[in-house]
């Protein structure tokens, strides 16, 4: 329990820092941290909701809670979606990675240990794409958001595949994981297609 508390505190600070780092050039720090606190409220509400309702679907309750609080935050603070979404993705991944790492130690779980390394790989992919995406000739629009959207697609694709072969693993929604994650991956693929288009 103590390790998980520490992991959540560190994860929360990582989210705040990385989101601020992504947005600091374009937005006042007060607006950025108001967005951060909106996200934190969403996480807290999701924690209690998943504790007492639909426990097997806790991951998706968190996705819903974070999505709603993020949407509310960017609308209220008048922050652009793709810029802030990139900050959200790279801010959430370390928090998620810490969760899997602590669970791997606490439960001696091979799956959680593998999940931890998958998250680390996604973090590496995010930073690599973030430094290279403007060089891709096929990504003609050059718009901000590419790294966050592609990383999200990969994340949900991995979950969709795991849902097919390992449906009973913790954090995967029983019976529906491949459908839910596949739908999210496809939705973000459409978002990427729209992002890559150059308007005439």
* Structure confidence by residue, pLDDT tens digits, 28-72: 889 999 999 999 999 999 999 988 887 788 889 999 999 999 999
Q: What pLDDT does residue 164 have?
A: 80
Q: What pLDDT does residue 24 have?
A: 87
Assigned token pair, 77: 């603070």
For the cut 50, the answer to whether the pLDDT of residue 73 exceeds it is yes
* C-alpha–C-alpha distance, residues 116 and 123, integer Å: 11
- Closest-CA residue to 179 (of 191, 195, 167): 167
Q: What pLDDT does residue 200 have?
A: 39
The full set of domain ranges for the chain reads 2-196
- Closest-CA residue to 60 (of 174, 151, 187, 197): 174
Report whether 148 contacts 82 (CB < 8 A): yes
* C-alpha–C-alpha distance, residues 42 and 61, integer Å: 10
* Structure confidence by residue, pLDDT tens digits, 121-178: 999 999 998 888 777 776 766 678 889 999 999 999 998 888 887 766 666 777 788 8
* C-alpha–C-alpha distance, residues 158 and 70, integer Å: 23
Reported as a pLDDT band with limits 50, 70 and 90, residue 7 is confident
Report whether 112 contacts 48 (CB < 8 A): no
* C-alpha–C-alpha distance, residues 97 and 152, integer Å: 14
* C-alpha–C-alpha distance, residues 114 and 154, integer Å: 16
Summary mean pLDDT of the chain: 87
133 DSSP 8-state letter: G
Mean pLDDT score, 97-114: 87
Q: What pLDDT does residue 170 have?
A: 61
Q: Which residue has the higher pLDDT, 168 or 103?
A: 103
């Amino acid at each position: 329990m103590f390790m998980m508390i520490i992991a959540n505190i560190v994860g929360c600070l990582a989210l705040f820092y990385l989101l601020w780092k992504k947005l600091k050039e374009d937005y006042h720090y007060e607006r950025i941290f108001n967005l951060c606190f909106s996200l934190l409220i969403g996480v807290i509400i999701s924690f209690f909701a998943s504790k007492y309702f639909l426990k097997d679907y806790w991951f998706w309750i968190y996705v819903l809670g974070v999505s709603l609080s993020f949407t509310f935050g960017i609308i209220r603070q008048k922050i652009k979606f793709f810029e802030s979404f990139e900050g959200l993705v790279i801010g959430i991944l370390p928090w998620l990675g810490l969760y899997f790492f602590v669970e791997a130690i606490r439960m001696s779980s091979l799956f959680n240990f593998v999940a931890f390394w998958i998250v680390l790989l996604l973090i590496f992919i995010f930073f690599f794409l973030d430094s290279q995406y403007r060089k891709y000739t096929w990504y003609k629009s050059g718009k901000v958001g590419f790294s966050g959207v592609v990383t999200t697609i990969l994340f949900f694709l991995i979950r969709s595949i795991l849902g097919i072969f390992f449906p009973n693993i913790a954090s995967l929604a029983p019976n529906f994981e491949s459908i839910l994650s596949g739908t999210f991956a496809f939705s973000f693929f459409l978002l990427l297609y729209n992002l890559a288009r150059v308007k005439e």
